[in-house]
Amino acid sequence: MSAWIGFTFVAALFQCWRTALQQRLRGELSVNAAGVVRYLYGVPVGAALLALYGLGTGQGVPGFGAWVLLLAAIGGLGQILGTNLLIMAFGYRNFAVGTAYSKTEAVQAAIVAVVLLGDHLSALAWLGIAVGVAGVLYLSLAGRTTPRELLAGIVQPAALCGIGAGFCFGLTGVLIRAANQEMPASDPVHKALLLLVLTNLLQSLMQGAWLVWKEPDSVRAVFATWRSSAQVGALSALGSACWFSAFALAPVALVRAVGQVEILFTLAFSRFYLKEAAKPSDMIGSLVVVGGVVLVLLGS
């Protein structure tokens, strides 16, 4: 099995786990505060991963220029916006459906990567992406049969927030891959870990400054909830380390398409952790998503 596939599966698991914890923080923190803890508490974990990998491989910190810094900053901002939109989607619908809308990121990432990076995918990979997206949309829109109901489902706030989150996450992946390629060092995983720390630092500064400016009362809550928040940050850093490594090793569109297996983890967390009721349509949609992932793997 290619390393990027393993990184993607582990990343999807950590991301789902982190999002489930973050969902529970919604009762204690605002949307922005819940986003800040993801990056602020993730910095030490990311730094530890970078240090351990560097010691294990005997590598120092690879050099980077202003262009890499800019790509990381814009990519980090995209992740902030995507996270906020996803948390907002949870407020309109449940955890599983909010995440399902955001998984349209696979096809959005594919289009952005083709335009910005010149990535090329096989016809089978494109078919797999389309099948996977159809699966997550079925999960979201099951039960809406008339054109009016379908249109209402697509333009409802949860859908708009989720689809917007998917675009932001897809763009982040493309920019992080571009930043990795711009670094002169040869080890893509080492560069990915450096980008993780750099991006999390920039995100902590950007969203932290916004929080101090717009929601000063929420700053204390970020530190008061440190037990739960630290878990979110640790899982975020571990997940992002795997995502960034996968982006460095394979086209973003393939990584995001295989990453749709997160929906399976999501349904499990939704049912057993958040105690949300499952529907028969969940199983049908899940099987379609799995079929899409298999096609992507066969076409990669």
pLDDT at 140: 61
**In the prediction, which pLDDT does 28 show?**
80
- SS3 (DSSP) at 63: coil
Q: Write down the residue that tokens 């992080």 correspond to.
A: 176
User: 237 — phi, psi (to 5°)?
Assistant: -65, -45
Query: In the numeric block, which tokens belong to residue 69?
Result: 């810094």
CA torsion sign, 129 to 133 to 135 to 136? positive
Question: What was the pLDDT predicted at 31?
Answer: 79
This prediction has a pTM of 0.84
pLDDT at 41: 95
- As for how many domains the chain has, the answer is 1
- In 3D space, the residue among 30, 298, 68, 36 whose CA is nearest the CA of residue 178 turns out to be 68
Q: What is the pLDDT of residue 180?
A: 93
Please work out, in degrees rounded to the nearest 5, the angle formed at the alpha carbon of residue 233 by the alpha carbons of 227 and 237. 150
User: Can you tell me the distance from the alpha carbon of 89 to that of 101, in angstroms, rounded to the nearest whole number?
Assistant: 9
Enter the tokens of residue 87: 């948390």
Domain span including residue 79? 3-299
Residue 57 to residue 63: CA distance in whole angstroms: 17
Q: By C-alpha distance, which of 141, 136, 172 is closest to 266?
A: 136
Report yes or no: 128 and 293 within 8 Å, Cβ to Cβ.
yes
**Cβ distance 260 to 287 under 8 Å?**
no
- The rounded average pLDDT for each run of 10 residues, N- to C-terminus, in the chain (300 residues) is 88 83 74 87 96 92 88 94 80 62 77 78 83 74 56 69 87 93 90 95 95 92 90 93 94 85 75 68 74 77
**Structural contact between residues 269 and 17, judged by C-beta atoms closer than 8 angstroms:** yes
DSSP code of 186? S
171 in Cβ contact with 257 (< 8 Å): no
Interaxial angle between packed helices 3-25 and 31-40, expressed in degrees from 0 to 180 and rounded to the nearest 10: 140
Give the angle 165-98-281 at the CA atoms, nearest 5°.
Answer: 135
pLDDT reported for residue 93: 58
Q: Could you tell me where the beta strands, DSSP code E, fall in the chain?
A: none
